[in-house]
Chains A and B, each alone.
Chain A
Amino acid sequence: MTEKIETILETRNVKLWYGQKEALHGIDLDFAKKGITALIGPSGSGKSTYLRAINRMHDLEDNVTVTGSFNLMGKDIYAPTMDTVDLRKKVGMVFQQPNPFPFSIYDNVAFGLRIAGVKDKKVLDQAVEESLKAASIWEEVKDDLNKSALGLSGGQQQRVSIARVLATKPDLLLLDEPTSALDPVSAHNIEETLLSLRDQYAMIIVTHSLSQASRIADKTVFFLNGNMVEAGDTRKIFLEPDKQETADYISGRFG
């Protein structure tokens, strides 16, 4: 992952403190313009903390300090001039629990564009359709766009959440355990959706499911105790990792 080709995001020496406690100890990672990168590691390893730092979710918490550089296609994510609303349009986040707004499916997907000032009905219609298609849920909801998103199943809600993020045409999708609250069939549908998007988007997914990482990710990064232990092609990480810690974690040999 250190090759200098077509990266969308490069982070260098990223450190993060909760108060006095250093939770990330200098993370260097590059992410390619396209494809899925899985961040794996036990709870408290720093993978989610790192993911959230990428779209400045920690801004909302007191007492959190972030240092180091986040270079998003030439722009510093933490620059004082960076508008976080703009940032989150470019770097969208999908959470563990599907979190549709209590609006219609249509309004959920159009939400980000309306915030950005888009009023033209035709533009919105088109964006909603395209996003729902990209999230592989158009066929299931196209006749119910005005129904509440809360009436959908968990898996469908999660795909609407993905469509909502895609509507603002992000460069990078962050996914924080997007299937851990779902049953295997719904989780499978989400995985299919992510696989269909991987030729067009860069995606970073935090997952506790090693089998999910091995099934869908092009690259895998292993975090432990706030350090990035190993990053590389998923095949390599799962078949012949360089580090013993990685091998132990992948094989379920937990101390």
Chain B
Amino acid sequence: MTDKSQELKPVSEFIPETAPERYIYDMDESKHEIALSTENLQVRYGDKLSLSEGDLRFERYKITSLIGASGSGKSTFLRSLNRMNDDVANVTGNIWYRGLDINSKDIDVYEMRRHIGMVFQRPNPFAKSIYDNITFPLTRRGKYTKAELDEIVETTLKQAALWDQVKDELNKSALSLSGGQAQRLVIARALALKPDILLLDEPSSALDPISSAKFEDTLLELKKDYTIIIVTHNMQQAARISDYTAFFNQGKVIEYDLTRKIFTRPKVELTNDYISGNFG
């Protein structure tokens, strides 16, 4: 019970006059460290505009989920962030990373991808040993001693929560791993390049709930050192693990906010319907 003397706010103050059609969280740069941001990003496949108006800022050491139906533009957006769409689409606008526009022509895309790594939906280990899966991308591009490589393999497998299960069989083929293990190996491989930002495209949709839960634990561990942006069809997964959520619909970001706000009181009707499973 509050005190009689307390001023009561009228209920009308809590009810917005009209619901907004879009809402993008305005991340204050003085309070949040921005790892990556996009500006006027547009993606065209031929003449068709597939993504527009996706101005988002991603906070460092946080997990951001991108959700939405197939064709909503969320994967297109994610792939554009490390230039995976260059060959198939025309991507315009800016992607800011450490003061650089990484969508500009002058950027060395391969070098950029060392900083911004991608993990795909289906675990895709190479037909090599577990050890070589991790070291191959490194040795192809630089010189490392055996001891250095050993250390990287151990560190990254530990980070990906796979070390204990495979440490005695590092020379076994990666193809013998289960789906969940293969997915974690692919993450270890991405981590070996010491990226800053990890992009994950539906990383656990091929996994059963137990592997998926372990995988989520791994991500929560990793966010201490990495900024993670994840496309997921599993809304409960987005709710469980992410700090921010962006809802895409028909090539636009409809709502971007703190995950706890999106899943308790979204501001846009369309978001509410989507996360409630109300696909009328």
Other-chain residue from B179, B180, B209, B274 in contact with A252 (beta carbon distance below 8 A): B209
Closest A residue to B67 by beta carbon equals: A184
Question: Residue A200 at the B interface, CB < 8 A?
Answer: no
Question: Residue B178 at the A interface, CB < 8 A?
Answer: yes
Q: Please, which residues of chain B bring their CB within 8 A of the CB of A184?
A: 69, 233, 235, 274, 277, 279
Q: A43-B178, A153-B70, A154-B70 are in contact. Are A185 and B208 (CB under 8 A)?
A: no
Q: How far is the CA of A183 from the CA of B74 in the complex (A)?
A: 12
Other-chain residue from B70, B208, B279 in contact with A43 (beta carbon distance below 8 A): B208
Please state if A42 and B209 are interface contacts (CB–CB under 8 Å): yes
Question: Residue B104 at the A interface, CB < 8 A?
Answer: no
Question: Residue A188 at the B interface, CB < 8 A?
Answer: yes
Please state if A254 and B213 are interface contacts (CB–CB under 8 Å): yes
Q: Which interface class (under 10, 10 to 19, 20 to 34, 35 or more) fits A? A: 20 to 34
Other-chain residue from A154, A186, A208 in contact with B209 (beta carbon distance below 8 A): A208
Question: Residue B92 at the A interface, CB < 8 A?
Answer: no
Please state if B208 and A42 are interface contacts (CB–CB under 8 Å): yes
Q: How far is the CA of A182 from the CA of B235 in the complex (A)?
A: 13
Closest B residue to A252 by beta carbon equals: B213
Question: Residue B236 at the A interface, CB < 8 A?
Answer: yes
Please state if A254 and B277 are interface contacts (CB–CB under 8 Å): no
Please state if B209 and A254 are interface contacts (CB–CB under 8 Å): yes
Q: How far is the CA of A252 from the CA of B179 in the complex (A)?
A: 19
Best-surrounded residue of A181, A184, A211, A254 (most CB of chain B within 10 A): A184
Q: Please, which residues of chain B bring their CB within 8 A of the CB of A182?
A: 70
Q: Please, which residues of chain B bring their CB within 8 A of the CB of A2?
A: none
Question: Residue A126 at the B interface, CB < 8 A?
Answer: no
Q: Please, which residues of chain A bring their CB within 8 A of the CB of B206?
A: 180
Question: Residue A210 at the B interface, CB < 8 A?
Answer: yes
| Minimal beta-carbon separation of A193 from chain B (angstroms) | 13
Please state if B70 and A254 are interface contacts (CB–CB under 8 Å): no
Question: Residue B211 at the A interface, CB < 8 A?
Answer: yes
Closest B residue to A192 by beta carbon equals: B279
Q: Please, which residues of chain A bring their CB within 8 A of the CB of B40?
A: none
Closest B residue to A210 by beta carbon equals: B209
Question: Residue B210 at the A interface, CB < 8 A?
Answer: yes
| Minimal beta-carbon separation of A177 from chain B (angstroms) | 10
| Minimal beta-carbon separation of A41 from chain B (angstroms) | 8
Question: Residue B139 at the A interface, CB < 8 A?
Answer: no
Please state if A211 and B70 are interface contacts (CB–CB under 8 Å): no
Question: Residue B205 at the A interface, CB < 8 A?
Answer: yes
Please state if A254 and B235 are interface contacts (CB–CB under 8 Å): no
| Minimal beta-carbon separation of A99 from chain B (angstroms) | 17
Q: Please, which residues of chain B bring their CB within 8 A of the CB of A154?
A: 70
Q: Mark B210-245, 1 if CB is under 8 A from A, else 0.
A: 110110000000000000000001011000000000
Please state if A43 and B211 are interface contacts (CB–CB under 8 Å): yes
Closest A residue to B180 by beta carbon equals: A43
Q: Please, which residues of chain B bring their CB within 8 A of the CB of A44?
A: 178
| Minimal beta-carbon separation of B189 from chain A (angstroms) | 22
A-B contact pairs, 18 of them (CB 8 A): A42-B208, A43-B180, A43-B208, A43-B210, A43-B211, A44-B178, A155-B70, A181-B205, A183-B69, A183-B70, A184-B69, A184-B277, A184-B279, A186-B69, A188-B279, A189-B279, A210-B209, A254-B209
18 new A-B pairs (CB below 8 Å) besides A180-B206, A211-B236? A42-B210, A42-B211, A43-B178, A43-B179, A153-B70, A155-B70, A182-B70, A184-B233, A184-B235, A185-B70, A185-B279, A186-B69, A186-B70, A208-B207, A208-B209, A210-B209, A252-B213, A254-B209
Q: Which chain A residues have a beta carbon within 8 Å of chain B's beta carbons?
A: 42-44, 153-155, 180-186, 188-189, 208, 210-211, 249, 252, 254
